[in-house]
Amino acid sequence: MTAPLLVFDLDGTLVDSATDLILTLNRLLEREAIPPVALADARHLVGAGVKPLLARALAQQGADSSDANVDRLYVTYLELYTIHMVDESRPFPGVITALDRFEAAGWRFAVCTNKLESLSRLMLDRLGLTQRFAAVCGADTFPVRKPHADHLLGTIAAAGGDRTRAVMVGDSAADIDVARNAAVPSVGVTFGYTPVPVAALNPGVVIDHYDELWEAVARLGVR
């Protein structure tokens, strides 16, 4: 029988990466002589990918947020972010313990993220987590990305899983919607970067800490 599979979003779900995303943004803004964004007020800017992050930040700072300017800055942002990706970023509290418990019970893991696959793998490598995941699928792995069902279904297939024995764990509308579109149950985490409370997105179960993940998955009835 195919092993059950937990599929995780990355930024805002597995890894608390907002600080490095915003610090990289501010390094870029400084180069452009644009005022930096305040860390305390910036979490709402992240969570949808780099280009939306740039567009939101530029607009917030009264700078040119046109597609052409975002495209121009995107390349430099990625160069800077590659260097500083895990200066501050760490797995959320309880992640490693939760993975250990599920792995001991025969579960496998995958990542389904709208971050570029190469950056996702690099982040997981630097955090010592890559070996935990049977598949890491990013925004450019398939022709589509979350919330399109095929991004999640493709990730499940790449991990050797079965949709009927999989659970999607995420923090944003893209995560909850991709699970819904793929007919896969979902767990929403409250500590991520969604601009609205994750409960408002109607995931199958909501958790406030990874200590609650085991019981949450049990409530979904996936084994």
Task: Based on the fold, state whether residues 46 and 71 are members of the same structural domain.
Answer: yes
Question: Which residues touch 190 (CB under 8 Å, ≥6 apart)?
Answer: 171, 197, 198, 199, 206, 207, 208
Q: pLDDT value at position 182?
A: 98
Q: Which tokens hold the place of 11?
A: 């930024």
| DSSP string computed for 63-83 | S---HHHHHHHHHHHHHHHHH
Per-residue model confidence as pLDDT tens for the chain (223 residues): 899 999 999 999 999 999 999 999 999 999 999 999 988 777 777 767 788 889 989 999 999 999 999 999 999 999 999 999 999 999 999 999 999 999 999 999 999 999 999 999 999 999 999 999 999 999 999 999 999 999 999 999 999 999 999 999 999 999 999 999 999 999 999 999 888 899 999 999 999 999 999 999 999 998 8
The CATH number that applies at residue 38 is 1.10.150
Task: Based on the fold, state whether residues 76 and 103 are members of the same structural domain.
Answer: no
Task: Based on the fold, state whether residues 173 and 66 are members of the same structural domain.
Answer: no
State the catalytic residue, choosing from 9, 16, 171, 175.
9
pTM of the entire structure?
A: 0.93
Instruction: Judge contact between 115 and 10, C-beta under 8 A.
Output: yes
**Structural domain for 37, as ranges:** 18-84
Q: What is the DSSP letter of 11?
A: B
Using the 3D structure, point to which of 67, 84, 101 is the last residue of a domain.
84
Q: What's the alpha-carbon Rg for the chain, to the nearest Å? A: 17
Using the 3D structure, point to which of 84, 100, 117 is the last residue of a domain.
84
Q: Which tokens hold the place of 168?
A: 């999607």
Task: Based on the fold, state whether residues 160 and 113 are members of the same structural domain.
Answer: yes
The length of the chain, given as a count of residues:
223
How far, in Å, CA of 170 to CA of 113, rounded? 9
The CATH number that applies at residue 127 is 3.40.50.1000
How far, in Å, CA of 14 to CA of 17, rounded? 9
Reply yes or no on whether 64 is catalytic: no
Q: pLDDT value at position 58?
A: 94
Q: pLDDT value at position 195?
A: 82
Instruction: Judge contact between 148 and 177, C-beta under 8 A.
Output: no
Q: pLDDT value at position 193?
A: 87
Task: Based on the fold, state whether residues 129 and 45 are members of the same structural domain.
Answer: no
